[in-house]
Amino acid sequence: MNDNFVYRYGDNLYINLTNKCCNNCDFCIRNNGDGIGDSGNLWLSREPEASEVISLIDSFADYDEIVFCGYGEPTYKTEIMVEVAAYAHSKGKKTRLNTNGLGNLINGRDIVPELKTAIDVMSISLNSHTKEGYDAVCHSVFGLDAFDEMLNFTKECVAEGIETVVSVVAVEGVDIEACRVLASGTGAKLKVREYIA
């Protein structure tokens, strides 16, 4: 089986480091199929080393940015992500991390100082304006603590000067205006995403 560690989506290269995730979101794209666009199957038989990812990046001729994204939560592989991001920067490319914002809990340490130089744009899933609402759709193994931890991670990224965006998926029951107020309080921008069926 050929694992799809790196794939093109739009003008960017997406990096698929792991299938692990501490959440089980109702709207997770993983519930609907094995990939996105022309990615191929994003379920992995193993996790890659940084050197493998870097070699694969070099096999793509032209792309805009490097995006660390699913099929899983990339902060499970923080060290590898930081190494790959440094390589992307050495090639003059910007980096983005799509994350659930629970990386400090996942790693048992504060990872924001490591991400500060590695990640140019932090995109964090906000998903709700309350911890109960978050728990109802994200079903995190961290329970009701997950929501506050995600908000703290967001505020820390903003404080460290990382361009930080929080996102909500426009599904029934999500109060977009309340999310906008909450996002504003963290200093992050809000992005409303459409549900991808």
Binding site for ligand SF4 (CB under 6 A): 21, 23-25, 28, 30, 70, 72-73, 100, 125, 138
Shortest Cβ 18–ligand SF4 spacing (Å): 10
Nearer to ligand SF4, 28 or 178 (CB): 28
Nearer to ligand SF4, 119 or 138 (CB): 138
Shortest Cβ 190–ligand SF4 spacing (Å): 17
Q: How far is CA 21 from CA 41, 129, 140, 145, 178, in A?
A: 17, 21, 9, 16, 26
Please count the helices (runs of H) and the strands (runs of E) in the chain: 7, 7
Shortest Cβ 59–ligand SF4 spacing (Å): 26
Shortest Cβ 184–ligand SF4 spacing (Å): 23
Nearer to ligand SF4, 23 or 154 (CB): 23
Q: Provide CB contacts within 8 A for 185, sequence distance 6+.
A: none
